[in-house]
Amino acid sequence: MKALLSTQTGGPETLEIGELPRPTAGPGQIVVDVKACAVNYPDVLIIQDKYQFKPQRPFAPGGEIAGIVAEVGEGVTAFKTGDRVIAACGNSGMAEAVVVSVNNAYPLPEGRDFAEGASLLMTYGTSIHALDDRGHLKEGETLLVLGASGGVGIAAVELGKAMGARVVAGVSSEAKGDIARQAGADEVVVYGHAPFDKDASKALAEKFKAAVGRDGANVIYDAVGGDYCEPALRSIAWEGRYLVVGFPAGIPRLPLNLTLLKSCDVAGVFWGAFAAREPERNRANIARLFQLWEQGKISPRVTETFALADGGKAIAKLEDRSAVGKLVVTI
């Protein structure tokens, strides 16, 4: 079968179309003929050997897919051949077929297309785990989202509003601010491009403080990292919760004295490990997402689709932080 392969360590330009053996379903598994594979920041990292998991090469990137069940393994009763599904697969999604555990697969509701379905699990799964399990966001609180126009950022904005929070979106352009407002953000902060000197960092902190209000942000969702971390942390509320989600701008050096002054918590968010360690809690979160999806309170925003051969171009757009919403490879 055809797949977009990583055959050597490197950036998106190293990916190439090649052949892999078609997978077969083992016990508790299904084989899915892939119709769509969403692109996420881990795809940028995994091909450079910078992600937590390092698959043996050659492998295809792509951690969440939608498609049609082609084969069911021993003991599988939840799905049958021909069912439409969405699934988290970790990697290997940018291929004509992929094998997944039934524990990581869900029926794709009628009326939802494959591109939209492929864009739900990782971004919204990460964000509901972050805001609920790790951030304990409550109705009436203030949420600051950094990188609010990207896939996980839009998910955090929508879920924050669904949970009854006031949401402040941090973005890098006015156009991205419009995307965040469409997702429901109450206010937008447009920040410049790092690196920041001391004065620029202080100025950004003041912009965040003005936007979140005098009491500060109860929860900060940081999907950017780098020089944006400290200015955001300076705007946190007393006993606020700072969520560490991702580092496309680099891994920050956190001044721990600020956590003491605000008596705040810093919480790491690693959805993939959470889903593997606590599958029942994760499935409960996903069930809640399906309810919100049906109610129209969340809606994956697919802004661009790519052919399988152009999957590297999609990954490159995430790497240079020019992507808005969700990018999807269709097969």
Indicate if the pLDDT at residue 321 is higher than 90: no
CATH 3.90.180.10 domain range(s) in the chain: 2-120+300-330, 123-272
Average per-residue pLDDT for the chain: 95
Determine the average pLDDT of the residues in 173-192.
95
Assign 177 to helix, strand or coil.
Answer: helix
pLDDT at 323 over 90: no
Which residue type is seen at 100?
V
Is pLDDT of 282 > 90? yes
What residue has token string 């492998």?
59
- Per-residue pLDDT, averaged over 71-97, amounts to 96
Pairing of β 142-146 and β 217-222: parallel
Q: What is the pLDDT of residue 178?
A: 95
CA distance 209 to 56: 46
Q: What is the pLDDT of residue 74?
A: 96
- Confidence class for position 51, pLDDT limits 50, 70, 90: confident
Confidence of residue 274 (pLDDT cuts 50, 70, 90): very high
In this structure, what is the dihedral angle of CA atoms 239, 255, 130, 232, given to the nearest 10 degrees? 80
Q: Does domain 2-120+300-330 have CATH number 3.40.50.300?
A: no
Q: CA 126, CA 295: separation in Å to the nearest integer?
A: 20
Length of the chain: 331
**What pLDDT is recorded for position 320?**
86
d(Cα 224, Cα 158) in Å, to the nearest integer?
Answer: 18
pLDDT tens digit sequence for 201-232: 999 999 999 999 999 999 999 999 999 999 99
Question: How far apart are the C-alpha atoms of 114 and 35, rounded to whole Å?
Answer: 6
Q: Residue 88 has what pLDDT?
A: 94
CA distance 299 to 282: 19
Q: How confident is the model at residue 52 (pLDDT cuts 50, 70, 90)?
A: confident
Q: In the CATH scheme, what is the code of domain 123-272?
A: 3.90.180.10
Q: Which helix (H) or strand (E) holds 198?
A: helix 198-212
List, for residues 138-153, the tens digit of each pLDDT value: 999 999 999 999 889 9
- Model pLDDT for residues 36-46, shown as the tens digit of each residue: 999 999 999 99
Distance (Å, whole) CA 95 – CA 3: 4
53, pLDDT greater than 90: no
Residue 32 clears pLDDT 90, i.e. is over it: yes
